[in-house]
Amino acid sequence: MSGIVESTANVARISRTGFFLRFLRAALPGLSFALVILAIAWLNPRAISYLGLNLMLNLGIPVALATVAQMFVITVNDLDLSIGTFVSFVGCVAATWLRDAPFLGVAVLIGSVLLYGVIGALIYLRNVPSIVVTLGMLFVWQGLAILVLPKPGGKPPVWLHDLMNFRTPYAPFPIFAAIGIAAVVEAGLMRTSYGAILRGSGGNPNAIGRAGWSLLKTKIVMFTLAGLFGVFSGLALIGLTTSADANIGKGYTLLSIAGVILGGGEFVGGRVSPIGAVIGALTLTLAGSLLNFMRISPDWQVGAQGGILIIVLAARSLINQVGRTAP
Amino acid sequence: MKFVRPARILAKPWIWSYLGALLVWLAAIAFTHGYGAGGMVTAALALAVFSVIAGVAQMFVITLGPGNVDLSLPANIGLASAVAMKMMDGSDALIVIGFLAALASGIVIGVFNYLLIRLLRIPPIIATLSASFIIQSAGISYGRGLQIKPPPGYADFTSAQIFGIPLLAIGTAMFTVVMAVILHRTIYGRSVLAIGQNSRAAWLAGISVERVRCATYVLSGALGGVCGSLLAGYFRGSSLEIGDEYLLASIAVVVIGGTSVTGGRANVPGLWGGALFLVLLLTMLNTFGVSAGIRFVVTGLVIIGVIIAAGGQPAGR
């Protein structure tokens, strides 16, 4: 009798530790974001104002959109190395054709989203590693961007510029935009039944396949969504920067992958978090401002992003280890 | 029985890369009416050397199995080129020191990559990617305003030719033969292949999987260092972007050369075929006078075409 009581107590303790660790893992993105905000507030209190936050978080929106795009691809156990040059390409189209010949511009953008779906289909049908295929696409988008806009320049359509520079009451626009993006993707991917199928096709493809769902279709859906959010990212970026060049999105591949991981996404197994990904993207953007306030040379900007990524992964691996060895 | 041999040669996966290289070369000289045919081959051999060295590094890593890839090679090459030039300081007497320093920088990067993979238990793609962020910054910070020319002796060495064949190409050819022997005839090489085919089975068979993985990432790092220092000599100076194209190139020559991207099967002769094919393809596009944009698009499409045609493992995971 006492044995049973004891083991029940043990179970309770295990589940309590497990719960705490799971909570810690889930809170990690939010914690790192809060940490960066606090550090900025401490170093430069004036930065935490309507104008300051607007300036700092502005460029976080295209990064967050690209991160969500990358997250869709990572959900199905693939990796998109081409998202950065795709954002460049979209930016170049937005700053030229979308303004001068809207129908052509829209058609090209829709076409490129569909091409993303085709890439997903090819990766599934030929069972080839996504990094090689998307590495090829990296060059294709780069080439197309140069063909569309050989020299830096162009101008965004007026509506796009106005949208991205919209002044919202109470809090700056980027905050509303980030909440909107996170809410929409969270609702679609985490709260719908087909969203569960999509995540499942990354977590256990065999089970999803046996249950009668088309894995080809889930792959196409996820890559098409990635293309769609890639387009949104490029549009948002051009709305903010007011001109384009063929290398404008160069750093986005690395940023987007880092954002997903920072946001609590697992690299394989369909375990991702849209809210986390958006927070991760904003954290990386703010980290740039923080380094400026700390007067760290811009040389170390990318290095610091790598460092943050490594620290977060180390923290997570530590939590996992504690979870495994806990009584 | 007479027709068996050609059939067997055609069954070799690397033969296609050489056929492709021959084809683009013929297309290029058809366009110039045979003018500069020999020069094209010399130039192609000289440039192919760097892709082959980076390709050997990437091939060993990829052969370790799914998920293994070294994305830090471009940053590694960029940093090594700066280290080599700074250490040589334009003086012939310091060539060996500079070369060894670049090699050491590559080895340190390899060790760092492996430690990230092992200690943080993260997939190699993410580990080498995060490492490449940091290496990139180190390179920017270290090589700021660096405009050091290579020592004259080193510059001459990297562009020397014997009967129209670059000296470096001969050296690299011998090096690849050695690497082929290491891959197929030594315990280390066979362990790499075994791990790529089934790492659990390899472990049960008594192979120290982690030691082999460590050695392979260090090898990749070291070769990145060598590639960077040679590039700096050949292009008369270092730059951070010098390694940029070798991410695509290293993976592409491995894929085009018939190495299995899912690991466990490697192909050394194919690296040369793949590298020559890539370089000659760019030469051909240049002789046709196409713009940079089209060059990018065609290179990308060729990679995708090859990998799609080769396909992956037939069954699921």
pLDDT value, residue A233: 96
Judge contact between A199 and A270, C-beta under 8 A. Answer: yes
User: Which residues, including other chains, have CB under 8 Å from residue B139's CB and lie 6 or more apart?
Assistant: B75, B78, B79, B82, B240
Q: Give the mutation candidate from A78, A89, A123, A132 for the B interface (greatest B CB count, under 10 A).
A: A132
Q: Give the mutation candidate from A128, A133, A146, A291 for the B interface (greatest B CB count, under 10 A).
A: A128
In degrees and rounded to multiples of 5, residue A260 shows phi and psi of -65, -45
Judge contact between B239 and B145, C-beta under 8 A. Answer: no
pLDDT value, residue B312: 61
The partner residue sitting opposite A127, judged by closest CB among B121, B141, B313, is B313
Q: Around Cβ A308, how many Cβ atoms within 10 Å?
A: 20
Written as one string, the DSSP assignment of B22-66 is HHHHHHHHHHTTTTTHHHHHHHHHHHHHHHHHHHHHHHHHHHT-T
Q: Does B120 sit within 8 Å of A317, measured CB to CB?
A: yes
Measured distance CA(B124)–CA(B210) in Å, rounded:
13
Q: Does B247 sit within 8 Å of A302, measured CB to CB?
A: no
Q: Does B311 sit within 8 Å of A303, measured CB to CB?
A: no
In degrees and rounded to multiples of 5, residue B186 shows phi and psi of -110, 165
- Supply the mean pLDDT for chain B: 88
Q: How far is CA A169 from CA A50, A172, A175, A176, A182, in A?
A: 10, 7, 11, 10, 20
Measured distance CA(A89)–CA(A244) in Å, rounded:
9
Q: How far is CA A214 from CA A118, A121, A211, A222, B245, in A?
A: 15, 11, 9, 13, 37
Task: Identify whether A227 is part of a domain.
Answer: yes
Q: Give the mutation candidate from B63, B70, B71, B134 for the A interface (greatest A CB count, under 10 A).
A: B134
In this predicted model, what pLDDT tens digit does every residue of B118-129 receive, in sequence order? 988 888 888 998
Percent of chain B with pLDDT over 70: 94
Confidence grade of residue B6 (pLDDT, cut at 50, 70, 90) = low
Apex A137 CA angle, B130 and A128, nearest 5 = 80
Q: Does A306 sit within 8 Å of B133, measured CB to CB?
A: yes
- Residue B317: pLDDT over 50: no
Number of domains in chain A: 1
In this predicted model, what pLDDT tens digit does every residue of B27-82 receive, in sequence order? 888 888 878 788 888 889 999 999 999 999 999 999 998 889 999 999 999 999 99
Q: Of A260, A229, A310, which is closest to residue A75 (Cα–Cα)?
A: A260
Task: Identify whether A33 is part of a domain.
Answer: no
In this predicted model, what pLDDT tens digit does every residue of B189-208 receive, in sequence order? 999 999 999 989 999 998 99
Q: Does A147 sit within 8 Å of B293, measured CB to CB?
A: yes
Q: Which residue has tokens 């390179």?
A: B139
Task: Identify whether A21 is part of a domain.
Answer: no
Q: How far is CA B224 from CA A78, A218, B191, in A?
A: 26, 38, 22
A130 contacts on B by Cβ (under 8 Å) = none
Domain of A148?
62-279
Q: Of A141, A132, A94, A133, which is closest to residue A247 (Cα–Cα)?
A: A141
Q: How far is CA B227 from CA B101, B111, B136, B233, in A?
A: 13, 17, 16, 10
Task: Identify whether A320 is part of a domain.
Answer: no
Q: Does A299 sit within 8 Å of B312, measured CB to CB?
A: no
Q: Please tell me the distance in Å from B46's CA to the nearest CA on chain A.
A: 23
pLDDT value, residue B309: 83
Name the residue in chain B with its Cα closest to that of A304.
B134
Tokens of A263: 């946001």
What ranges in chain A are assigned the alpha helix state H?
A: 2-43, 50-58, 60-75, 83-95, 97-100, 102-126, 130-148, 158-164, 173-185, 193-203, 205-210, 215-241, 252-262, 274-293, 301-325
Q: Does B295 sit within 8 Å of A143, measured CB to CB?
A: yes
Question: If you average pLDDT over residues B130-154, what whole number do you get?
Answer: 85
Judge contact between A20 and A326, C-beta under 8 A. Answer: no
pTM: 0.87
B308 contacts on A by Cβ (under 8 Å) = 122, 126, 128, 133
User: Which residues, including other chains, have CB under 8 Å from residue A92's CB and lie 6 or more apart?
Assistant: A145, A148, A149, A154, A244, A245, A246, A248
Name the residue in chain A with its Cα closest to that of B308.
A126
Q: Does A304 sit within 8 Å of B129, measured CB to CB?
A: no
When computed from its CA atoms, the radius of gyration of chain B, rounded to whole angstroms, is 20
B317 contacts on A by Cβ (under 8 Å) = 205
Domains of chain B and CATH, by start:
14-29+37-310 (1.10.3470)
Q: Around Cβ B304, how many Cβ atoms within 10 Å?
A: 21
The partner residue sitting opposite B137, judged by closest CB among A127, A137, A303, is A303
User: Which residues, including other chains, have CB under 8 Å from residue B118's CB and lie 6 or more apart?
Assistant: B210, B214
pLDDT value, residue B2: 45
Task: Identify whether A32 is part of a domain.
Answer: no
Question: If you average pLDDT over residues B262-286, what whole number do you get?
Answer: 90
Judge contact between B237 and B76, C-beta under 8 A. Answer: no
Looking at B97-111, B183-197, B239-253, which range is the least confident one?
B239-253
Name the residue in chain B with its Cα closest to that of A128.
B312
Q: Of A71, A155, A86, A151, which is closest to residue A119 (Cα–Cα)?
A: A86
Q: How far is CA B309 from CA A193, B16, B155, in A?
A: 36, 12, 40
Q: Please tell me the distance in Å from A9's CA to the nearest CA on chain B.
A: 32
Three-class SS of residue A145? helix
Q: Does B291 sit within 8 Å of A144, measured CB to CB?
A: no
Q: Please tell me the distance in Å from A143's CA to the nearest CA on chain B.
A: 4
pLDDT in tens, chain A (327 residues): 445 555 555 555 556 777 777 787 778 888 889 988 999 999 888 888 888 888 888 889 999 999 999 999 999 989 999 999 999 999 999 999 998 899 999 999 999 999 999 999 999 998 888 888 999 999 999 999 999 999 998 888 888 888 888 888 888 889 999 999 999 999 999 999 999 999 999 888 889 999 999 999 999 999 999 999 999 999 999 999 888 888 888 889 888 988 998 888 887 778 889 999 999 999 988 888 888 888 888 788 888 888 888 888 888 888 877 777 655
Task: Identify whether A52 is part of a domain.
Answer: no
Q: Please tell me the distance in Å from B143's CA to the nearest CA on chain A.
A: 10
- A–B CB contacts, 8 A cutoff, strictly below: 147
Name the residue in chain B with its Cα closest to that of A301.
B137
The partner residue sitting opposite A136, judged by closest CB among B301, B312, B313, is B301
Q: Please tell me the distance in Å from A67's CA to the nearest CA on chain B.
A: 15
Measured distance CA(A154)–CA(A151) in Å, rounded:
9
> What DSSP designation does A298 have?
G
Task: Identify whether A169 is part of a domain.
Answer: yes
Task: Identify whether A146 is part of a domain.
Answer: yes
Q: Does A205 sit within 8 Å of B119, measured CB to CB?
A: no
Q: Please tell me the distance in Å from A116's CA to the nearest CA on chain B.
A: 13
Instruction: Let me know how long chain B is.
Output: 317
